[in-house]
């Protein structure tokens, strides 16, 4: 069984403890960018059938305008209208943008700044966090799972858990000097946003708040993973992807991104570019909500494309139930006309799957779909890629 995120309880040990024994060094895409490669190394080149089409790279892809929902009204007389709008977005596309979310624009700018400064650190500093252990509390790397990926993604990442914050914070990078203070403030504010959104999603399904937000631990003990993605300018963007198609395993993902663009979703069988909207968050539904809703709400398949001229940074916060908790279709949504589509599962099962094979779009949902129950046709998607 997969272990849960490992961390030292000693504040004094900090970065040294989280990286003990981590002397793995390999060429990151940041390094390749810095040395000025003129063509992609072969390990980054996708098979021809899986490459992004020329008309779907940054700047040329068809734009898709996500629903923009003002969530300030969740605390007021218009709550029911906002809950209804969120429910429609979850059912129709599985993705929407939120504004007036109570996270200051200045803080979001600071998050993007320290994220950028981390990836600009000397390679020796960044490499302190390289690890083969996918359950490491803090991990820096390239692609997704370099041990299993047959084709690498054109991205570097820094991942770290955010809850419980007192345990995790001493393990985060201390360079840039204000990384911990900026990211800890941001993680706490995003956690509040996620609690408000999850409450609305549960309400839109007609489910009891106390049972699915409080008793299952989402509000107080829910998992929180922050992922900083760095996509350098790419010499041959038409041959690779920043992140190939995938769905997120958790409940919801809250994404902040710069103005470059590159996030795309699969909609009606076509890849559509999501235009960055100032001071907004992109919110996408993950596998756990599709499971909980028994297929009513969609876990959206998305990807990231790269471009020739500009680097891009995004910060994703993946929010879900506690690691040890199980999730399954809500009994209130199951009857003779709506049988359970999925069996109960937990985070450990997902991590075991992740560590054992290439991760393809919706492979986790496919692995827990009950035999004899097809997923509704509008949920079926074309095969994905390892990422």
> How high is the mean pLDDT of the chain?
85
For residue 62, give both structure tokens: 């068809």
pLDDT digits (tens, 9 = 90+) for 265-311: 998 888 999 987 888 999 999 999 999 999 999 899 999 999 999 99
Return the residue matching tokens 């680097």. 311
Query: How far apart, in Å, do the first and last CA atoms of the chain sit?
Result: 22
User: 102-116, 206-220, 247-261, 347-361: which range is least confident on average?
Assistant: 347-361
Distance of CA 290 to the CA centre of its chain: 15
pTM over 0.85: yes
Task: Determine the distance from the C-alpha atom of residue 178 to the mean position of all C-alpha atoms in its chain, rounded to a whole number.
Answer: 24
What pLDDT is attached to residue 358? Answer: 56
Provide the token pair at 333: 């949504």
Distance CA 296, CA 249 (A): 16
């Amino acid at each position: 069984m997969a272990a849960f995120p490992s961390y030292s309880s000693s504040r004094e040990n900090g970065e040294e403890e989280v990286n003990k024994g981590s002397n793995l060094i390999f060429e990151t895409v940041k390094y390749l960018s810095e040395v000025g490669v003129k063509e992609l190394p072969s390990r980054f080149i996708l098979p021809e059938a899986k490459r992004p089409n020329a008309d779907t790279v940054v700047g040329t892809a068809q734009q898709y305008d996500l629903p923009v929902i003002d969530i300030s009204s969740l605390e007021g007389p218009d709550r029911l209208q906002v809950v209804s709008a969120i429910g429609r977005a979850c059912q129709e596309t599985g993705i929407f943008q939120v504004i007036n979310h109570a996270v200051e624009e200045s803080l979001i700018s600071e998050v993007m700044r320290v994220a950028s400064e981390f990836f600009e650190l000397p390679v020796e500093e960044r490499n302190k966090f390289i690890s083969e252990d996918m359950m490491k509390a803090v991990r820096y790397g390239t692609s997704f799972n370099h041990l299993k990926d047959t084709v690498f993604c054109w991205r570097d990442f820094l991942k770290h858990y955010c809850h419980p914050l007192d345990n995790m914070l001493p393990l985060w990078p201390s360079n840039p000097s204000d990384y911990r203070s900026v990211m800890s403030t941001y993680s706490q504010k995003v956690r509040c946003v996620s609690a408000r959104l999850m409450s609305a999603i549960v309400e839109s399904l007609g489910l009891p708040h106390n049972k699915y937000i409080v008793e299952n631990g989402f509000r107080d003990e829910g998992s929180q993973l922050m992922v900083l993605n760095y996509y350098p300018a790419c010499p041959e963007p038409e041959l690779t992807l920043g992140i190939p198609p995938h769905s997120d395993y958790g409940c919801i993902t809250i994404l902040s991104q710069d103005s470059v663009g590159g996030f795309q979703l699969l909609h009606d069988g076509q890849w559509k570019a999501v235009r960055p909207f100032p001071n907004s968050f992109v919110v996408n539904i993950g596998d756990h909500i599709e499971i909980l809703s028994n297929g009513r709400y969609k876990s959206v398949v998305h990807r990231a494309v790269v471009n020739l001229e500009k680097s891009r940074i995004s910060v994703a916060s993946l929010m879900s139930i506690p690691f040890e908790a199980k999730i399954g279709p809500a009994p209130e949504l199951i009857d003779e006309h709506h049988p359970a589509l999925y069996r109960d599962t937990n985070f450990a099962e997902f991590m075991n799957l992740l560590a054992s094979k290439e991760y393809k779009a919706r492979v986790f949902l496919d692995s827990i779909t009950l035999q004899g129950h097809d997923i509704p046709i509008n949920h079926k998607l074309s095969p994905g890629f390892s990422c």
